[in-house]
Chain A
Amino acid sequence: MLNHLPILIIIFPLSIAFIILLFKKYIIALSTFSILFSLASLLKFAPSVYKGQIISYHLGGWPAPLGISLLIDSLSFFFALTVLLIGMMVIIYSIPDKKYNHNYYFLLLILLSSMVGTIFTADIFNMYILYDLVAIATYLLIAYYQHGVALKASFNYLLMSAVGLSLFLLGVGSLYAMSGTLHIASISEQLPEIFAHNPQIIIMSLVLVITSMGIKMAMVPLHGWLPDAHSLAPSPVSAILSGVVVKVGLYCLIRLIFGLFSTEKILVNIASHYILMVFGAITLLFGAMMALTQTDLKRMLAYSTINQIGLILIGLGFNIYSGFEGALFHVLNHALLKSALFFCAGIIIKTGSKKIKELAGFGKKNPVVAFCFVILSLGIIGIPPMNGFVSKFLICLAAIEAGYSILALVIIFASLITAAYYFRVIQIFYSEPIQPNSNLPNIDVAENSLFWDKYFRLWPIYILTGFSLMLGILPSLGLLLIRPAVKILLLNIIK
């Protein structure tokens, strides 16, 4: 039993999902239990993973290049922990809403388990299959309320991401044609030899992988689906989309670029890190500019996600230790902060309108949520006591260390724009409402519903805010989690 724990982390929530769909009883208890089980069994691997061991599990007992294998190292452990933690919070947050029935929890559990599968797999074809499962669950969750606009957003996302995943499969096919295996480590071993004979195929598959994962994580020329999908989905779904689904695309990119393509010679010839750096800078500035012009709160948060993804890409592009450290730390920070911000936005939208202009006076009506929103947005901007500061600071340091001081300036400039659009919301929160009479009945109803939802709706926000504050005050705690993962990234680069 204990030997099979890696696959149980994935299979257990998946099977519970089907039990929920069939029997429609004890929905919340079962889904909470299954995610808690996965979290606990993941944490069981923590000591050995952080000693530097790499745990690999072979399905059906067939060894690596032949069979399908799962791999838990510190990088995949870190990402899986983030996914399951945010997933747990999302389940708690959606408990009080009666509109979420068994279909919702079914899709949510499929989404979470297939994301963990995508992270653990050591096989590029399985990565494609599981990523497609993630994507299908995501389309249905975005269109969950079946509003017209959400359906359109979901269809838009479906078109873009299905084309992207086909591109990924084409890349997988050309890698398979050249190497005759699908196992990431085995391909990586054979890559220098293949590159010497036909470099074009390797470059083509690298471009295909970057394009497809770029669509998945909204790198700027490919970001068209994100603002609609993230802002029109139900709030807990937006939280999981912005917090972790985007990060899974990032994980696949990191795993493939730094685990598969980054043999020394290829990195020099293709210079994939320049691609990341340039597109990261474009993404950063574009996301910040577009967020500044938004009038809808959730849409602004969605563009802010694009902004932060750009920052992470820049950090990865430097190809040095502190850059990776900052980027991975920012992955964790952004997951905590942005999902909590979307939770807050869910409560804020319930009290009235989605428009930022009409939120005046919210800070007085609901001081606790407004206070959490302020703290979290300080984290996203990167103001010292919060965790966002630490990761942005590390990335800026890496920029100067790697000799791209101009990028440090770009990051600081983008942070200023970030501050501008978050402070605008905060300022409106604490200003007097313009027409107090028209807003009153709305707010009364909302307060009533907030009273009942209090425990389940507010606790995830408190927990995530507490985590971010803790990581901000004691950043070494977070860096302790991240440093072994950075070592995995550097393993293939510096030889």
Chain B
Amino acid sequence: MIVILCALFPEAAPLIQKLCLARDTARTPFPRFWNQGISLYLSGPGEIAAAACTGFALGREETLSSLHLVNFGSAAGPENRAGELFLADALLETGTGRRFYPDLVLDAKIPEAAVRTCQKPADRDTVAGANDGAVRPVLFDMEAASICEAAMHFLGPDRIHFLKFVSDAGGEVSLTQETLLSLSEAPLADVLSYLSLIRRAQKEEKKSVPAVDEEALEKLSSLFCCSVAMKERLSVLLHWCALSGRDFEGEVKARMETGVLPAPNRREGKKVFDDIERTLTMGD
């Protein structure tokens, strides 16, 4: 699953169209658009709305194990970089001074920038001052750091991504919806490539994690009359056998045939379990 958060509809519209996302008709506090494997939410502008939306979007997901979160939207930045897309590698919440560093573990060819998140739109002097003589671009937005802070309650820093395009140089001039829409269309190809990289990473993760058969664990646990601690040992042994190609099932079958299993009580079960563990882990 990839969860995309955008503050405003014009920022999200090109993605909604390109990814064929359908409006979720259920009543939710934040508008949601979705398709297989992707949910896009509109948080509304500002830090509090963005953090609330992050909590809502991630909190309702049943499994977070391979979920990635992408914040896509506009930011103020250097005048000569207008329209460019950046990947944020450092975030600063200007009110608290808290800093966040997403892990950039995907080999994306997108230039990077620092992002400062403010409660109000940054003025022109602030944006220019931060970028004057700076080696790296400094962008200003109203959501990224708060999204990151909220998301880190759910996800690791390698699963939180910030893609920001420069919409203006700061100041009082408010962008029209049409301008914002056209600016957010420009980097669409790069954003879609980035989403593909995330999907590839998700596939890799799925390949590398062996499945845990909870049902088999329960059955075996009752076979041995396991205590809580012994069930934990059983779980470790099963996992190790699966990884190292040891035949746990064969050992159990052999003991079923001789009538040692199912064990009549916990004490006898432990004896049989110890015997199997010893056979499997110390037999060369």
- Same complex for A and B? Answer no
